Amino acid sequence: MNENIPEMGIIKLEGIKFRANHGCMEEEAKIGGMYSVDVMLDTDFTEAAQKDDLSKTIDYCEVYEIVKAEMSIRSKLIEQVAQRIVDKLRERFTGLQYTEVKVTKWNPPINGDVEKVSVVVTS
């Protein structure tokens, strides 16, 4: 192991479910809909794994709270929601090498049989 190159690991939170009021249509603002969020964080948690110490890694409870807070802020576009989540995660957790957030809107109001629409923002 080269001491100058950090070891990396991936933390994923998958299928975080919310009812939210995002969308361009007024009905979406009033009625809301179902959404899910997937988060992938690439970081060095070697020391946490070795020492079994939560303070040396990313607390996924904090990740959840960030996602929950951003999902509660109404936006017309899920693209904006995903970008806000990425921005907040990178602001809070400075050791992130790579961040990926996927926001999925279930049963979007489209004139057709569409199960879901998703956007992915990476940084």
Confirm whether 63 is domain-assigned.
Answer: yes
pLDDT in tens, 15-66: 999 999 999 888 888 889 999 999 999 999 999 889 999 999 999 999 999 9
Claim: this prediction has a pTM higher than 0.85 = yes
49: containing domain:
9-122
Confirm whether 2 is domain-assigned.
Answer: no
The CATH number given to whatever domain includes residue 38 is 3.30.1130.10
Specify the pLDDT at position 1.
Answer: 47
Please classify residue 36 by burial: count the beta carbons closer than 10 Å to its beta carbon, then call 0-12 exposed, 13-18 middle and 19+ buried: middle
Domain count, the chain: 1
Positive or negative torsion for Cα 21, 123, 37, 52: negative
Q: How confident is the model at residue 77 (pLDDT cuts 50, 70, 90)?
A: very high
Confirm whether 1 is domain-assigned.
Answer: no
Question: Of the given ranges (58-62, 81-85, 108-112), which has the lowest mean pLDDT?
Answer: 108-112
* Cβ 9 vs Cβ 44: under 8 Å: yes
Q: How far is Cα 6 from Cα 29, in angstroms, rounded to an integer?
A: 45
Confirm whether 33 is domain-assigned.
Answer: yes
